[in-house]
């Protein structure tokens, strides 16, 4: 399948921390001869800046749903040639999570997986039940002083500060944003770190509590059961990450080949089991063990997603 086009011998993907099974890229190399370099980023802002500057070197990257329209406006992502993605089947994708990849009827990005942003907490170190973003921020300045991490990512950190006051996660009201800023400045001296790569510190016991994405929460709880993952009762962020190809990708044939490979349900199911983010593809869900589909971290009850 890959012999028809010269794929070269290397390509680069930009993605998020702890987000892939390294064996996926090894097996892709064995099949195609293409070595995959993985560049890890902690925010969409970083990815955008790198792409705007030009010469990112990426032939595939993983943007979050709300950024795709910006990439399209700036004319820095490719309208996908779906004929090259035979493993993608839009009819099997959950429509709740896919719409933002398509703009004016043209597909610019295909979904990787979805998830939530919640709180990971070491219940042996912080024994009070954690149920809300208000409790998260209050604990960060009390029992969690010096042991709390927040994302190095404007959307989630500001959004969850807005939730402290019961405001909308997506509020653009100046007075509400000013209150969120006030809270963040108050909390800042109490933090252990501001980073989107929080797993190492949580695993080492240096951090006891962090803002956390679904997949990291699942990995941490799987390996260290006393680390719980909870959703704030005030609500918060539900996100979808997509795969897209930059307009200036240096190796588009390999970018398409890897993307098509990742869309194969048999490959995607291994990725899912390694990284723990909920799948959007019904074909992948059908291959997952029942205990994964029943895991409330990965697939929270419908009432929590309202």
- Domain 10-114+241-296 fold is D-Maltodextrin-Binding Protein; domain 2 (3.40.190)
In this prediction, residue 235 carries a pLDDT of 81
DSSP 8-state symbol, 37: E
Complete DSSP assignment for 41-80: -S-HHHHHHHHHHS----SEE--BGGGHHHHHHTT-BPPP
pLDDT at 150 over 90: yes
- Residues sharing a CB contact under 8 Å with residue 164, sequence separation 6 or more, in sequence order: 133, 134, 137, 180, 183
Averaged pLDDT, 9-34: 96
Averaged pLDDT, 278-297: 92
Answer for the pair 94, 280: CB distance below 8 angstroms, yes or no.
Answer: yes
pLDDT at 109 over 70: yes
Averaged pLDDT, 171-177: 96
In this prediction, residue 6 carries a pLDDT of 86
pLDDT at 261 over 70: yes
pLDDT at 113 over 60: yes
Complete DSSP assignment for 89-102: -GGGB-GGGTGGGE
Q: Quick one: which of 55, 101, 57, 93 has its CA closest to 254?
A: 57
Confidence of residue 237 (pLDDT cuts 50, 70, 90): confident
pLDDT at 2 over 80: no
Q: At what angle are helices 265-275 and 252-262 packed, to 10 degrees? A: 80
Q: Are the folds of 10-114+241-296 and 115-230 the same?
A: yes
pTM of the model: 0.88
Confidence of residue 194 (pLDDT cuts 50, 70, 90): very high
Confidence of residue 301 (pLDDT cuts 50, 70, 90): low
Question: What does the domain layout of the chain look like in residue ranges?
Answer: 10-114+241-296, 115-230
Q: How many CB atoms are located within 10 Å of the residue 137 CB?
A: 23
Which CATH code for domain 115-230? 3.40.190.10
Rg (CA), the chain: 20
In this prediction, residue 212 carries a pLDDT of 96
DSSP 8-state symbol, 279: P
Average pLDDT of the chain to the nearest whole number: 93
> What share of residues in the chain are helix, strand, coil (percent, to 5)?
40, 20, 40
């Amino acid at each position: 399948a890959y012999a028809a086009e010269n794929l070269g011998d290397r390509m680069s993907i930009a993605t998020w921390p702890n987000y892939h099974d390294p064996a996926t890229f090894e097996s892709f190399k064995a099949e195609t001869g293409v070595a995959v370099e993985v560049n890890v980023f902690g925010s969409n802002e970083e990815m955008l800046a790198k792409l705007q500057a030009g010469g990112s070197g990426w032939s595939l990257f993983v943007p979050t749903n709300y950024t795709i329209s910006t990439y399209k406006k700036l004319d820095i992502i490719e309208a996908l040639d779906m004929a090259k993605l035979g493993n993608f089947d839009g009819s099997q994708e959950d429509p709740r999570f896919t719409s933002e990849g398509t703009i004016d009827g043209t597909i610019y990005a295909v979904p990787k997986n979805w998830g939530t942003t919640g709180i990971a907490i070491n219940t042996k170190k912080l024994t009070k039940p954690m149920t809300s973003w208000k409790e998260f921020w209050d604990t960060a300045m009390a029992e969690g002083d010096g042991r709390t991490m927040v994302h190095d990512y404007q959307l989630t950190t500001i959004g969850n500060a807005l939730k402290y006051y019961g405001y909308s996660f997506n509020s653009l009201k100046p007075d509400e944003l000013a209150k969120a800023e006030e809270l963040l400045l108050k909390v800042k001296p109490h933090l252990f770190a501001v980073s989107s790569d929080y797993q190492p510190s949580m695993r080492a016991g240096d951090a006891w509590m962090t803002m956390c994405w679904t997949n990291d929460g699942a990995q941490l709880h799987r390996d260290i059961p006393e680390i719980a993952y909870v959703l704030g009762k005030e609500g918060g962020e539900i996100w979808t990450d997509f795969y897209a190809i930059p307009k200036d990708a240096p190796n588009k044939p390999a970018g398409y080949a890897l993307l098509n490979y990742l869309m194969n349900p048999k490959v995607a199911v291994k990725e899912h089991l390694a990284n723990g983010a909920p799948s959007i593809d019904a074909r992948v869900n059908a291959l997952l063990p029942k205990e994964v589909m029943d895991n409330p971290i990965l697939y929270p009850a419908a009432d929590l997603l309202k």
